Structures are given as structure tokens and as C-alpha cells.
A and B are shown apart, each in its own frame.
Chain A
Amino acid sequence: MNKYLLILFFILSPILLQGQELFTGDYTFNGLKGEAAFEFVKGAEGTLIKQGYFRFLRKERDIEDKAVFYKTQVEGNYEQDKKTGLWDYTDERHQIEFKDVVDFKLISELSSQQIKLKANYLQGNPHGKWTFEQNEFAEGKLSKKSQAEDLQFFDGDIRGKFQYKSFVSGKTHFIRGELVGNGYMNGEWTFVYEEEGILINEVRNYENGFLLGLVKRDLEKDDVIDEVVFYETIRKLNQVNNIENKGFRVSEEKFGIQFNDGFLSGAPQFSAQRSGNQFITEFLTNVMRYDEKFVNQSGEVIDYPIHTKKFVFELTRNQQKIVEELPAKFDQLKTTVKDYSERNALMLNRQKSDTLSFAYAFFQFQNQKLKDFDEIMNLIITKEIQYYDLNHLVQDGKTILSETDEISFTFEEENLTREVTYTVGDFENNFYSVLSDYISQMNAKTMEFKSYVDGSLSKIERDEDLRNIQNQIQERRDQLDEKYLLAEDYSFETLELLQSIHDNILGTGFDRLNELYAKEENFDGKKETARKMLDLLNEMENQYQHLTELYSNFDKMDELYMEEVFNPFTYTRYDQRDKPRLYESAERVFEYYMIQLQKEEDYTQIKYWVEKIDSLFQRMSELKEADSRVVERKLNRRLSINRVEAILEL
């Protein structure tokens, strides 16, 4: 006992001498819950400042899959709450598959993944040598899955040679390159990875953070799959090198691994980098996962220790003004369009006139159209636009500035088309002003339609009852649309049935009532029709569950009328149809009812058919164990459905 006390004294004495305290207990490290032991000192207002050694251990079973076990071990040192010196991380995921129990001994199989990382820090930033390896344990064997040796960090950025290898199905995938300055990609970077079953060799050429070109080859066939040369970037770099650059310069900022000189996400210069960058990101996610500054708790890389560069473009005073003002103008337009595209009163009353129908279609169209502006507008809102070469941007972006929009709509069951026209200026030379002008035109058109809609619906909207009913109808219809069309967990036949009933009742049937509603001028008449529409929706809600069960109940009937028999000639047991004539007749009646149900356009009749089908099942259930020989004798395939119904007493 005394011996242990002495050891404890020696361990604790340096801490006590320095005013440090020891924490042991539950602790959350980078979102992982476990137990930690670390030294700390108390700062101002009792804040806890980690100072000295730090150990963390997590042992956790997966919440959903109890056969999965996680283990994380972290060991290192803090200096004034910042990581310092060597840190050791081990992260393991174990999957246990239980095979058997023999003589009270468990026979199981273990498959695991392990990540081992040794990292050096200075004042909380990665600094010094890092080594990373990822292992896999399967069938009793530990094998290496990926590795990165001698990564040299300097103040949070990687410098010098970069090499990462991963081993996938007997093939080596790798990234090899060089980083200069504050972690800028430079020179030749080579990637070998698999994409859609093809082993790809990608070679990129960087010039101090600027990507100049890339070539992708099918490594096995040696065919060129993709080749992109960034001519504009090369031209601008030459201008900078010759000090001939006008209106732009190299930005001092550090950017992520996606090089962008003004490409929208659909541009080939953007998409060509996607696979290679994904491969680097995968690696960085694994390596930087213990540093919240780089990888967030959802496992996304939020900052990179590897960088690219961009040019920054000067904006005139007028352009700056547009950048400042356009987001608010766009936001207002978007809000109005969204509001009117979702407006219940407009949706329900659109059949009142062709202009109102067109207005409804216009807002739907405009809502979609504005989504195409989001990417460019986002660049303006975040001011990222200053790093975008407008020569690229106008090429990619001009398709969204259409001169004529053809808008189709339906009025009184007739398909109509009308045009909305815009004036598009010289977008290539006046990007900001043309964009601003176009949005102003969209705004003006939107306001015209808005005024018309407001005028037409003002009376209706003033009636609170009607407004409430309208809102209720639209909300319930949206819910039912989703229920009938987005159902997934049913058989193909059930989904087909739901689709037909949706089209006939919630589509055609509802639209007919809606037309009546829109054209009704008298408020009481309007309310009466609205109540009918609500009744239709209620009925569809009530019948939904029954409709989804019809085919599964039929399967149950099928099963009920199968009996296991022993064939005394072949000496085999199998399921055989019991009372086949009765069953086949019921099957015919069921098919007939289902066809009627799928064709039904009157919502009040849905219940009628569902009840008929239920009573068929009920009767068949009774007849299964009853002496049904008399009934069976009367049945044959030539009888009409009415006659079969009569014999079955339906």
C-alpha cells in the first residue's frame, strides 16, 4: 500500500509543484466521446487551459450495429491550450461477425480498419514531420491500405515533396507532387486512381499555385480521356511575369485545391479536376481529421494545408456599386417569385381566366429560372466574383440570359404558349451592368404579373374564410401528392394503383372542381366548391391506407388457399391450390374490381370499390373452411362477373 502511495506522490509531485492540476474523466475530443486524462492550469475567470500531457481513449459500440466497435487513442502535449510536439493518434473500427459457439467458446471473425498518425505541432499548427498509415485486418491478416511518409508541415501548410499511396484490390493508387512557398502546388503532379472501373493516370502541371493544364489517360489502354489546357491562365501569368498585367494581379490569398480562374461548376475546366481533387480530399480527411480547424465534425475538409492561387480582378466604381446593390435586388425578386409561385389562391383560382393561368405559369417558370442564377449571384454575394476572370464567366453564364422565354400553360383543358421577352445587352463586355439590367427587367415583368394577380385575387383574399380554406386545400393537396407519388415501400402493382388513382382523382378530378371553383364569382358558391375539394382530399387521405393494403391482402388470400399436400405417387410434399375453382373465380372478380378502381374518376366511388374488394376477401375467408361444394359446382369460367358475385353472395 505504502509503495503505491509513494509512486503516486512521485507522479503527482511535479504537477503540484507547478500549480498544474490533473483532469481525469469523461471528455469529448473532436466530437468523439471517451475518457481523458490531462494536465491543466486555471486561467482568468477559472477557464481551463490545457498545459502538459494529454491522453484520450474512446471505446464505443456502434448505436445501430452492435457488432461494430470503435477504438480511438490519442496522446500528446499541450502548451497554453495549443497542441505542441509529437502527437500520436490511433483510430480503429472493428467489425465482429459471430459464427458459432462450440463448447461454450465463441467462434467469430474480425475485420478491422486502423489509422495510425504521428503528427508534430507548434503553437497549435501542424509543424514538422507527419507520418500516416491506414491498415486493414481481414481473415486473420493485417495489410497496409494506404500510407504517406515524410509529410513536412510548416505553420499549417505542407511543403516539399508530397507522396501518398493507397492499395486497392492489388493495385497501387497514388498522388505525387511538390509544394512550394506556403503550401502551393507546383510542378508536375501525378495521380493514379480508379474511376468507374477504369484505372486513370492524371498528370497536372502547376506553376506556383496556378494550374496550367491536365491530361487524363486510361492507364491500361493508354488512351487520352480528357485534356484541358488553361490558356487564359497561362496568358495572364505571362503578362504578370512581364509586368504587363492590367486590371488584375496575383492574389495574396491562399485557396483550396480546386483551381478556379473563373469557371462555373459546369465548365470542363472545373469538372476535369473533380476526380483528382476528390482523391486528395479523401486523403486529407483521414490525415487532418483530428484537427477541427481542418476537418469539421461531419468529416468535411474546411481548410486545406495544400493550396492553389488565383488572380484578383479590379472592379470599377460602378461595378463595385453593382456588386454591393445587386444581391438585395435579386433577393427581393426571388422572394416575390417564390411567394407567388407558392400562392394557394393563385393556384386554386388560376382557371378563372387565361391571363391568370398564364400568370400562374409565369411564376412557376420564373422560380425555376432564378435557380440558374444562383451560382453567379452567390459569387457576387460572397464577393468571390473578384477572383473570376469575366472572359470565362460570360461564356459559361450567357446561356441563362435568354431573350425570349416560352411559357406553356393549360386553360380550360387547352394547351397554350405565350412569350416573355427581354433585352440583353453586350454581356461579354459589360458583364455587371448587363446582368444588373437583366435582373431589373425580370423584376419589372414580375411586378407586372404581381399587380395583375393582386388585382384579380384581392376580393377573394379579403375573405378570411376563403383564404383559410384555400390554404388548407393547397397544403393538403401537396401532402397527398407526396403520399401518392413518392411512396416507396410498396409492390410495383400497388405503386401503379396509387399512381392511377392520383392521376384520376387528385389530378383530373381535382382540377375539374378547381376550374369550377376558379370561375365561381359568388363567394358562397366558391365556399361550397372549396368544401367539395376538401371532401375529395379527405376521402383520398382516408382511403390511402386501404388502397396500399389491397394487393398484400390478395397475396394473403392466395396463401390461404394454398394447402400443403402429400403426393402418394411421387412421395413429395408441396403447396397446392385448395378449392381451385372458387379461388380462380375470386381472382377474376378481384382483377375486375382493381381495373374499375384504377379507372374510377369519381372520388366518392373509390370507397365503394375498396369496400367491395374487402368484402370479397372476407367472403373468401369464410368459404375457406366452409363446405363450399355447392358454390364451387355453380362456378365456371364462362360466367359473367355479376353472376359470380351473386354465387359468392357478394
Chain B
Amino acid sequence: MMDLNKCLVLLVFVGLIHLNIMPANAQENFIPTERISLPATTESWNGLYLKLRMTEKWWWYQENHYRRRNSIDNRSDFVGRISQIYNRFGFTYLFTDNFEVTFGPTLVWNFTPDPGNPAYLNSVLEPRFWHQWLLTQAVGPVKILHQFRFEHRFKRANNIGAEFQFTNRWRYKITAYVPLNKPRMENKTFFIAPSNEFFFESGRHITDIFEENRVYTAIGYTYNNYMFFGGHMWTYGPTPIPATYRNRHIIRLNVMYTIDFRDRRRPLTRDFQF
């Protein structure tokens, strides 16, 4: 089993090298006089997560999200406008029960911020390549997940004639699964899962490498091959306007499903006889 500390050091080291080799920000320096926080907006994200076991080590990974955001004239309605259709795919290699690596493409459709406005395209495609290093550890009954995710994005705005720009995204998320009705995380377990994720961004046109912080508190339940998971997420991060920050309240509802495609008629591992 790979040593968790070693992996963390390796990932941070790789990340730092990556940051250093990126070109320095050539944009004009803007020194704000004070920070501006925009009023909170609301969104709702609904997702389906699949993990399909192909072999002992290889899994197919898939996420499909349907995301909406508040109306232009009502920041609290959560579902006023369609926001994104988000599809993430990947192959996962499970090194050990505590360490896995996933890589694959992401296809995101970003919808117009102002439906009906001819100045915007209704939706634009944002392709990405992503890879993720995930380490887990058990602290008593609690399961801790350290997720390092890297996304290489080709993104454009919905404005007519806008050009694709390449950015790299660096994400670290720490999640704790805390079982509530069982001594440990197992089947038919109610749990609470707080998490915190930091987003950093780099790219030729990026002025602020800090992109966002997401604080998410979810409750969930494991039931056979399913896991139901949902809660409230609060995000905080800069906007393209210098010194101006936005924050969002997002309701998330997710269903996770896993299935084992290996040959089920494998020999019995238990000595059993009536």
C-alpha cells in the first residue's frame, strides 16, 4: 500500500513545479481600494455518479449533472435558469483500497446567462481533460478523503465571437464521512459528510490564481449498490472584476450507483456446507 504522506508530498511538489513553469501574469496591475462582495446567488445541482467495476483494478467513472441557477431578477429561486449540463467520464485505477487515480474527458455545456438575449449563444461547449489522485484514510469510525483534481480546460464565454482560452485548474478537497447509526461506514449507514475544497486556476489571462472555495455539508445513506447524498454548499471566490467576490448557496442532490461487472460466478471464498 502506498504511503499516504509520500503521496501527498509528491502531489504538492508536482503542483508547485507546475505553477512555477506557467508564464507570469502580464496583465496590468490593479490595486483595489477595498474588497467588494456581491450579493449571494443560488443554484441547484443534481447529479448521477456511476462507478462500474470492470476488473479487479479498473473502473469506469461517470458523472452527469444538471445544474440550474437563479433567475436574473430573483437571486433566491435556485432554479430560474439552466446553468450547465456537465458530463465527466474517466477510467479509474485502484492501486489499493486507499489510493486511486482517475483520468478522462469532461464535456460541459455552459448556458447563456441571459436567455433570449441575441448577444449570447444559448450554450457553448467546454471540453476538459482531467485527472485525479485520491487518497483515503480511516480515523476511528470516520473516513477521510483527500482529493487532488487537475483540470485542463478549453473555455469560452457565451458572448458571440468569444474565443476559447486554455486554463489549468488545481483542486484539493478534504471530505470526512462520519457514520451516524453504525460503528463504521458500511451498508445501510446514515452519515454526515462535511467537505472543503479549494480551487486554483492558472492560465495566460488569469489575474488571480485563487478561483473558489467550496464548503459543503451533506448527509447521506448507503443502501446496497446505491448511495444517496445531498446537502448545502456555499462557495466564495473572485470574479473577473478585480477585488470583487461572489458567493453562492447551492443545493446539491446526488445519487451514486456502483455495479460490479466482474464474473459473479467466481469460486466461493467461504467454506460452507449445510
Known: A577-B224, A625-B268. A556 touches B97 (CB 8 A): no
In the complex, the answer to whether B53 meets A560 with C-beta atoms within 8 Å is no
Kindly list chain B residues whose C-beta atoms are within 8 Å of the C-beta of A472. Answer: none
Q: Does B190 contact A (CB under 8 A)?
A: no
Known: A576-B187, A617-B274. A571 touches B268 (CB 8 A): no
Q: Does B185 contact A (CB under 8 A)?
A: yes
10 new A-B contacts at CB < 8 Å, known A559-B272, A574-B186: A568-B258, A570-B143, A570-B222, A570-B227, A571-B136, A572-B185, A576-B224, A614-B274, A621-B272, A624-B268
In the complex, the answer to whether B256 meets A569 with C-beta atoms within 8 Å is yes
In the complex, the answer to whether B143 meets A569 with C-beta atoms within 8 Å is no
In the complex, the answer to whether A567 meets B274 with C-beta atoms within 8 Å is no
Q: Does A627 contact B (CB under 8 A)?
A: yes
* Bound CA–CA A362/B272 (angstroms): 55
Q: Does A566 contact B (CB under 8 A)?
A: yes
Kindly list chain B residues whose C-beta atoms are within 8 Å of the C-beta of A553. Answer: 274
Kindly list chain B residues whose C-beta atoms are within 8 Å of the C-beta of A568. Answer: 51, 53, 59, 92, 94, 258
* Bound CA–CA A625/B270 (angstroms): 12
Kindly list chain A residues whose C-beta atoms are within 8 Å of the C-beta of B150. Answer: none
In the complex, the answer to whether A559 meets B270 with C-beta atoms within 8 Å is yes
In the complex, the answer to whether B274 meets A621 with C-beta atoms within 8 Å is yes
Q: Does B177 contact A (CB under 8 A)?
A: yes
30 A-B interface contacts by CB (under 8 A): A556-B272, A559-B272, A560-B272, A564-B269, A565-B187, A565-B260, A566-B97, A567-B185, A567-B222, A567-B227, A567-B258, A568-B51, A568-B59, A569-B49, A569-B222, A569-B227, A570-B177, A570-B222, A571-B98, A572-B186, A573-B97, A574-B187, A575-B187, A576-B186, A576-B187, A576-B224, A577-B187, A617-B274, A618-B274, A625-B268
Kindly list chain B residues whose C-beta atoms are within 8 Å of the C-beta of A580. Answer: 224
| B interface residues with partner A (beta carbon < 8 Å) | 49, 51, 53, 59, 92, 94, 97-98, 136, 143, 145, 177, 184-187, 191, 222, 224, 227, 229, 256, 258, 260, 265, 268-270, 272, 274
Distance in angstroms from A483 CB to nearest chain B CB is 23
In the complex, the answer to whether A569 meets B274 with C-beta atoms within 8 Å is no
- A-B contacts counted at CB < 8 A amount to 66
Kindly list chain B residues whose C-beta atoms are within 8 Å of the C-beta of A625. Answer: 265, 268
Main SS class of interface, B = strand
Kindly list chain A residues whose C-beta atoms are within 8 Å of the C-beta of B191. Answer: 570
* Bound CA–CA A567/B97 (angstroms): 10
In the complex, the answer to whether A570 meets B185 with C-beta atoms within 8 Å is yes
Known: A566-B97, A627-B265. A571 touches B145 (CB 8 A): yes
* Bound CA–CA A580/B226 (angstroms): 14
Query: Which are the 4 A-B pairs with shortest beta-carbon distances?
Result: A574-B186, A571-B136, A568-B51, A572-B185
Instruction: For chain A, residues 348 to 370, give those with C-beta under 8 angstroms from any C-beta of chain B.
Output: none
Kindly list chain A residues whose C-beta atoms are within 8 Å of the C-beta of B187. Answer: 565, 574-577
* Bound CA–CA A570/B269 (angstroms): 24
Main SS class of interface, A = mixed
* Bound CA–CA A568/B60 (angstroms): 11
Task: Name the CB-closest residue of A to B265.
Answer: A625
Kindly list chain A residues whose C-beta atoms are within 8 Å of the C-beta of B53. Answer: 568
* Bound CA–CA A569/B187 (angstroms): 12
* Bound CA–CA A556/B224 (angstroms): 21
Distance in angstroms from A235 CB to nearest chain B CB is 71
* Bound CA–CA A553/B273 (angstroms): 9
* Bound CA–CA A566/B98 (angstroms): 11
* Bound CA–CA A215/B82 (angstroms): 92
Known: A571-B145, A572-B186. A560 touches B227 (CB 8 A): no
In the complex, the answer to whether B184 meets A572 with C-beta atoms within 8 Å is yes
Kindly list chain B residues whose C-beta atoms are within 8 Å of the C-beta of A564. Answer: 269
Instruction: For chain A, residues 564 to 610, give those with C-beta under 8 angstroms from any C-beta of chain B.
Output: 564-577, 580
* Bound CA–CA A559/B136 (angstroms): 29
Kindly list chain B residues whose C-beta atoms are within 8 Å of the C-beta of A618. Answer: 274
Kindly list chain A residues whose C-beta atoms are within 8 Å of the C-beta of B227. Answer: 567, 569-570
* Bound CA–CA A614/B270 (angstroms): 20
* Bound CA–CA A567/B191 (angstroms): 14
**Other-chain contact of A569, B98, B258, B270, B272 (Cβ < 8 Å):** B258
* Bound CA–CA A627/B274 (angstroms): 20
* Bound CA–CA A35/B256 (angstroms): 77
Kindly list chain A residues whose C-beta atoms are within 8 Å of the C-beta of B185. Answer: 567, 570, 572, 574
Interface centre among A569, A573, A575, A577 (most CB of B within 10 A): A569
Interface centre among B49, B187, B227 (most CB of A within 10 A): B187
Kindly list chain A residues whose C-beta atoms are within 8 Å of the C-beta of B222. Answer: 567, 569-570
Kindly list chain A residues whose C-beta atoms are within 8 Å of the C-beta of B274. Answer: 553, 556-557, 614, 617-618, 621
Kindly list chain A residues whose C-beta atoms are within 8 Å of the C-beta of B136. Answer: 571
* Bound CA–CA A564/B260 (angstroms): 12
Task: Name the CB-closest residue of A to B97.
Answer: A571
Kindly list chain A residues whose C-beta atoms are within 8 Å of the C-beta of B229. Answer: 569
Interface centre among B98, B145, B222 (most CB of A within 10 A): B222
Distance in angstroms from A629 CB to nearest chain B CB is 10
Distance in angstroms from B176 CB to nearest chain A CB is 11
Kindly list chain A residues whose C-beta atoms are within 8 Å of the C-beta of B272. Answer: 556, 559-560, 621
Distance in angstroms from A554 CB to nearest chain B CB is 10
Q: Digit string of A292-318 for contact with B (CB within 8 Å is 1, else 0)?
A: 000000000000000000000000000
* Bound CA–CA A565/B191 (angstroms): 18
* Bound CA–CA A568/B258 (angstroms): 7
